[in-house]
């Protein structure tokens, strides 16, 4: 929140709370910025995206993982599941972040977008499926946004949404009932569909 609020301050726009952020965040991210009050007739979105990354990246180094992440990744590794990251984050920054967090070895691939504009992950997800010969019928897309639900639908795989990320629980429930409050609860949904 500090990153976006710093940008908003630079443009004399109102600061946002976590709850407000979760209520308006969307993809493509340019639409989220418009909801924050930015007018792209007056401002170059590519410059604003760079400004955000300049604020965000130094703070990213201070962020850690949710407590359940290591054990969940280890569990899926132990039962032979492939694990891939498909993220709207710029690829090089994503790879560096995953390496700094010490979890890169848990993933078969780490995939971010090639630009800073966070438009859509759908094409990237298709590329990961093709490159890794993934059977989408036995694939789970785990995310924290309505866009993650849309991507899962587009690539025709199962999904679980976690509500301790970019969207509130209620907002995620507007598109699916497969919503859990944190990662530790994903097994309740996945176990209904298959034995793990």
Shared domain for 42 and 97, answered yes or no, is no
pLDDT digits (tens, 9 = 90+) for 9-65: 999 999 999 999 999 999 889 999 999 999 999 999 999 999 998 999 899 888 889
Report the relative pairing of strands 84-90 and 179-180 from DSSP bridges: unpaired
Shared domain for 86 and 180, answered yes or no, is yes
The answer to whether the bond into 121 is cis (omega within 30° of 0) is: no
Tell me the average pLDDT of the chain: 92
For the domain that residue 143 is a member of, what is the CATH number?
3.40.50.1000
pLDDT for the residue numbered 196 = 43
Do residues 24 and 146 touch, judged by C-beta distance below 8 A?
Answer: no
Structural domain harbouring 53: 2-60
What is the distance between the alpha carbons of residues 90 and 56, in angstroms, rounded to a whole number?
Answer: 12
Shared domain for 36 and 91, answered yes or no, is no
Do residues 130 and 121 touch, judged by C-beta distance below 8 A?
Answer: no
190 vs 101, more confident: 101
pLDDT digits (tens, 9 = 90+) for 80-119: 999 999 998 989 999 999 999 999 999 999 999 987 655 6
What is the distance between the alpha carbons of residues 13 and 29, in angstroms, rounded to a whole number?
Answer: 17
Shared domain for 118 and 181, answered yes or no, is yes
Whose tokens are 């390496």? That residue is 99
Shared domain for 37 and 131, answered yes or no, is no
pTM, entire model: 0.89
Instruction: Tell me which residue of 104, 111, 71 sits closest to 88, measured CA to CA.
Output: 111
Shared domain for 51 and 11, answered yes or no, is yes
pLDDT above 90: residue 125: yes
């Amino acid at each position: 929140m500090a990153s976006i609020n710093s940008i908003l301050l630079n443009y004399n726009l109102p600061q946002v709370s976590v709850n407000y952020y979760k209520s308006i965040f969307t993809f493509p991210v340019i639409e989220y910025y418009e909801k924050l009050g930015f007018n792209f007739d007056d401002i170059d979105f590519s410059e604003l995206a760079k400004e955000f990354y300049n604020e965000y990246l130094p703070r990213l180094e201070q962020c850690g993982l949710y407590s359940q992440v290591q054990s969940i990744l280890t569990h899926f590794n132990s039962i032979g599941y492939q694990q891939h990251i498909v993220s709207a984050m710029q690829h090089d920054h994503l790879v560096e972040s995953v390496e700094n967090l010490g979890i890169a070895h848990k993933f078969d691939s780490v995939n971010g977008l090639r630009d800073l504009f966070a438009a859509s992950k759908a094409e990237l997800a298709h590329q990961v499926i093709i490159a890794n010969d993934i059977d989408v019928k036995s694939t789970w897309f785990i995310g924290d946004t309505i866009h993650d639900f849309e991507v899962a639908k587009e690539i025709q795989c199962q999904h679980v949404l976690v509500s301790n990320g970019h969207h509130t629980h209620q907002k995620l429930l507007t598109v699916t009932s497969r919503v859990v409050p944190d990662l530790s609860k994903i097994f309740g949904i996945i176990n209904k569909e298959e034995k793990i």
